[in-house]
Chain A
Amino acid sequence: NAGVMQNPRHLVRRRGQEARLRCSPMKGHSHVYWYRQLPEEGLKFMVYLQKENIIDESGMPKERFSAEFPKEGPSILRIQQVVRGDSAAYFCASSPGTGAGNTIYFGEGSWLTVV
């Protein structure tokens, strides 16, 4: 959905560098989700945030990964000291956040390649 904006679309990093992925939710959406898609696998939930709060980070790796959704500006997924296994497509999604079963809209993804 073009309403959820992710950048960069493609990012190449050397092992040990940092990767920062940005996500601007759809207008009016205050809930942001990050998912990771590894080759031959479905999407795996990583973290769920509302403005200035992490609501659920049960899918985040314990080390090197962090996420934020500040009061102003986009949500950022940060991966420190990247390794080859971090190569994946990272999708951001957003929702209005009110009401069960509310539709979650996805961005077009950020493809991270670690060389």
Chain B
Amino acid sequence: AQSVTQLGSHVSVSEGALVLLRCNYSSSVPPYLFWYVQYPNQGLQLLLKYTSAATLVKGINGFEAEFKKSETSFHLTKPSAHMSDAAEYFCAVTPNQAGTALIFGKGTTLSVSS
């Protein structure tokens, strides 16, 4: 069985500070991992995905994530936060298998203060 744990339901940073959102996964098979962002009252937008091609994955809006198998982690980072980054972020996992549904973490709300 697969699962995702997002550490910290709320993260607050100042504008210009480093953003670090934590995600640990559990999987008995090689996983595919995703980060999605959700703005208030909107659907989910894909930020980036890991599909085993490279351990450091770059996504949209300056975000990136590094897959660390030894730590079973896929933390999301951004060097410098912007006010527009305030949103809810979800980590998700799916097994290396076609057409299988995503399993989501509970989400982390990112607040950015000026």
Chain A contact residues, CB within 8 Å of chain B: 1, 4, 6, 31, 33, 35, 40-45, 48, 50, 55-56, 59, 91, 93, 95, 97-109, 111
**Complex Cα gap A33–B98 (Å):** 13
Main DSSP-derived SS at the B contact region:
loop
Asked if A48 and B43 make an inter-chain contact with CB atoms under 8 angstroms apart, the answer reads: no
CB of B45 within 8 A of chain A? yes
Chain A nearest CB: distance from B78 CB in Å?
21
Asked if B36 and A106 make an inter-chain contact with CB atoms under 8 angstroms apart, the answer reads: yes
Residue numbers in B under 8 Å from A109 (CB-CB):
41-43
Contact of A100 among B42, B44, B96, B103 (CB under 8 A): B96
CB of B20 within 8 A of chain A? no
Contact of B32 among A33, A59, A100, A111 (CB under 8 A): A100
**Complex Cα gap A103–B99 (Å):** 10
The contact sample of 10 A-B pairs, CB cut-off 8 A, is A6-B43, A35-B104, A43-B90, A45-B102, A48-B100, A98-B99, A100-B32, A101-B52, A101-B96, A109-B41
Asked if A100 and B45 make an inter-chain contact with CB atoms under 8 angstroms apart, the answer reads: no
Given A55-B99, A101-B51, does the pair A107, B43 have CB atoms closer than 8 Å? yes
Residue numbers in A under 8 Å from B106 (CB-CB):
40-42
Chain B residue at minimum C-beta to C-beta distance from A111: B41
Asked if B101 and A48 make an inter-chain contact with CB atoms under 8 angstroms apart, the answer reads: yes
Contact of A101 among B36, B44, B49 (CB under 8 A): B49
**Complex Cα gap A56–B100 (Å):** 9
**Complex Cα gap A91–B90 (Å):** 14
Residue numbers in B under 8 Å from A55 (CB-CB):
99
Residue numbers in A under 8 Å from B104 (CB-CB):
35, 42-44
**Complex Cα gap A37–B43 (Å):** 11
Q: List CB contacts (< 8 Å) of B72-105 with chain A.
A: 90, 94, 96-105
Chain A nearest CB: distance from B74 CB in Å?
13
Contact of B43 among A31, A50, A103, A106 (CB under 8 A): A106
Chain B residue at minimum C-beta to C-beta distance from A50: B99
Asked if A43 and B99 make an inter-chain contact with CB atoms under 8 angstroms apart, the answer reads: no
Q: List CB contacts (< 8 Å) of B4-47 with chain A.
A: 32, 36, 41-46
Chain B nearest CB: distance from A87 CB in Å?
15
